[in-house]
Every structure is written in C-alpha cells, then in structure tokens.
Amino acid sequence: MQQVSLSNGIRLIHKHTSSPVAHLGITIDAGSRDEMREENGIAHFIEHSVFKGTQKRNSAKILTRIDGVGGELNAFTTKEETAVFCTFLSNYYPRATELLADIVFNSVFPDKELEKEKSVVIEEINSYEDSPMELIFDEFENQVFGDTGLGRMILGTKESVNSFNSEKIRRFIDRNWTNDLIVISTVGNIDFERWVRLTEKYFAGVKPKKTERKRSENYVYKPLYREMRRDTYQSHIMLGIPAYNYKSEKKVAFS
C-alpha cells in the first residue's frame, strides 16, 4: 500500500495488483450525519445527482463513458461518508480518473434532472418503508440517537426530498466536500508514480480548502424498548448495547 497527498490536501492511496481489472474511487468524509435537520436526505440525493450532468457532459455521456468500455460506475452514501467509484480494465485508468474528477468537482445539478431524480428517491423511500427487515435498522438508530444526523434516515423524507434544489446542494457540498475530507483510492495494475502524475493532472487544480465542520459527539445512551406492529407474517428483532468504538484497542477482543 502506498500513499501520498497532493499539494491541495487531497490524499491518494494505491495498492498494486497484477489483475487486469482495476478499481478507483473517491471517498468523502461526509454523510447524512452532517446534514442539518432541514437537509435530511440531501447527502444521498447528491449521490444520485452527480451523474446528471457536468459542465461538459450530459447524463448519457457520463454513464456511457465507463459502461462503453465494459466497466461499471456507481456510488453510495452512509451516515458518515459518500463514495463515487468505478471498476474497469486497467488500460482505461486515464478515462476513469478524468471521469471521476469531472463528476465530483464539475457537476452542475440541472433543475430539470433534479426534478426527475426526486421521484426516483421517493420511490426508493416507499420501497424501503415496505421492507421491515431493512427499516428496523433505521428505527433502532432513531431510538438511540433521536433527532440528530445519526438518528435520522439516510434517504430523508418525502417532504425534505421535494424541497431540494441546486442551491441547497451546493451549500451542503461547500460545507462538507473539502479537500482534507477527500481520499482517492485505487487497486490495480498501474505504477504508483504514474498514477500520481495522472491524478495530479485532473485533481491538482482543485482549490485548497479545509473543513470548519465539527461533528457532535454528545450522544447519551438510554435503555429503552419499542414495539411496532404491522400486518405481516414475519417478526424482526434488534437488540443493542453500548460497546467500544472502532478506534478502541479492545474492539477485537470484544468482537
């Protein structure tokens, strides 16, 4: 594993393999826990919307840029991070690197496309609410963390999603997508120095910016019990207790 930082603060991590298939991703240390209450769901909505057009590409050209050479382009959002990534044959490193740079830093979020995407996300919310096996996780975290970024649903609500526009999206990105919170990582058959030069070509021009965000750590766990009844043939149960955090030296023994 090799790593270095660009002059603007973006970190690079590379693992060399001999496989003909390569993986490249941009991970941003910003997720739904970093939303204000009225922004609930916007981190996930942005993940959908970055594929809808940039300053030089429309959505069709974005999707076919990697798909057209047998690769795959995707993204995901969690409560703590957002990632945009692709899988491709290793000889397409320049194509994949340029495309991810364009998506993450040059998306224009056209209003017409945003309106279309709202219906997609709302349908996702409806589908999620009809799946108790998945919904129980959000219900549990809501009970533990309450009305905070960690307690609210990643997808947001139908009301919050309908309120999103390009201005709100840019405000969230400006506040949270700062260089010191961005990592570009890759696994593939490419020389590290060559990949660094390639990354510098497309990312070195990103203006340096550090976050002023401070995540709240003031969560107090209180034991509680909640039961929800639905017209279904299945029962789903979740039990949770306080435990060591992922930085603790005791976490391995605990698990």
Hey, which residues are catalytic here?
47
Element (H, E) at 101: helix 93-106
* DSSP 8-state class, residue 119: H
Instruction: Say if residue 73 is exposed, middle or buried (CB neighbours under 10 Å; 0-12, 13-18, 19+).
Output: buried
Phi then psi for residue 118, to 5 deg, are -60, -40
**CA–CA distance, 156 with 79 (Å, rounded to integer):** 11
Instruction: Say if residue 143 is exposed, middle or buried (CB neighbours under 10 Å; 0-12, 13-18, 19+).
Output: middle
Instruction: Say if residue 49 is exposed, middle or buried (CB neighbours under 10 Å; 0-12, 13-18, 19+).
Output: buried
Six-digit token string for 5: 């930082």
Element (H, E) at 66: helix 59-67
Report whether 195 contacts 186 (CB < 8 A).
yes
Angle at 62 between CA 57 and CA 64, to 5 degrees: 125
Report whether 96 contacts 18 (CB < 8 A).
no
CA distances from 125 to 38, 135, 154, 155 (A): 17, 10, 10, 7
